[in-house]
Amino acid sequence: ILNVEQSPQSLHVQEGDSTNFTCSFPSSNFYALHWYRWETAKSPEALFVMTLNGDEKKKGRISATLNTKEGYSYLYIKGSQPEDSATYLCALWDMRFGAGTRLTVKP
Amino acid sequence: NAGVMQNPRHLVRRRGQEARLRCSPMKGHSHVYWYRQLPEEGLKFMVYLQKENIIDESGMPKERFSAEFPKEGPSILRIQQVVRGDSAAYFCASSPLSGRTGNTIYFGEGSWLTVV
């Protein structure tokens, strides 16, 4: 079982703030890391799949980086909006998700 | 291409009854994952199946829970003799290949089980 840890557990920011959070994982035998966005009462939605050390992916105001040697990935949100409020989950290739970071963006 | 279909969306069972939750993966997907979301908790892995095979069931409770993904038809998560603590949202996800290939998994909308 591959344990991923996410921090912080929750985050409250003001609209317009930029923010970031972390997914940490064991650095050995890496294959892939997934980021998902999960809004309340909806199903998780894929954001990024990252497979190579140094990967950087971007979708609109959201971007992610990957460091497989030190075992972490960062998710960045630039200029947060209230609609970004959600729980952000990461998982390794075994698809066991971390506890998530719950982001609340206040107008 | 229809997404992952789960049914029923809502299910109410009395304590001691059986609950069956169905998941039809996306077309062409032969890998299925089941997750449980307990109130105020995250998404907990339960089981990973390929057609006709259970690959990893290490997240399944030892008793009363079982899962299958037959050659034909949907994947079924079966909970026997339900108890109040089984009340949760159960999510299914599917992918065309295993997670090691970096394939995205796609989630259904979930089945909400309430045990009364």
Q: What is the full DSSP assignment across A16-53? A: T--EEEEEE---SS---EEEEEE-TTS--EEEEEE-ST
pLDDT, tens digit (0-9, with 9 covering 90-100), for B40-91 = 788 999 999 999 999 999 999 999 999 999 999 999 999 999 999 999 999 9
Q: What integer pLDDT is reported at residue A41 of this predicted model?
A: 84
Q: What integer pLDDT is reported at residue B1 of this predicted model?
A: 53
pLDDT at A46 over 90: yes
Q: Between A and B, how many CB-CB pairs are < 8 A? A: 59
Residue of A nearest to B56 (CA): A94
Q: Is B112 on the interface with A (CB under 8 A)?
A: no
On chain A, the residues whose CB falls within 8 A of the CB of B59 are 96
CA A82 to chain centre: 17
Q: Is B56 on the interface with A (CB under 8 A)?
A: yes
Band (A24; pLDDT cuts 50, 70, 90): very high
B102 in the Ramachandran plot: left (φ > 0), alpha (ψ -120 to 50) or beta? left
Task: Say how far apart CA A54 and CA A76 lie, in whole Å.
Answer: 15
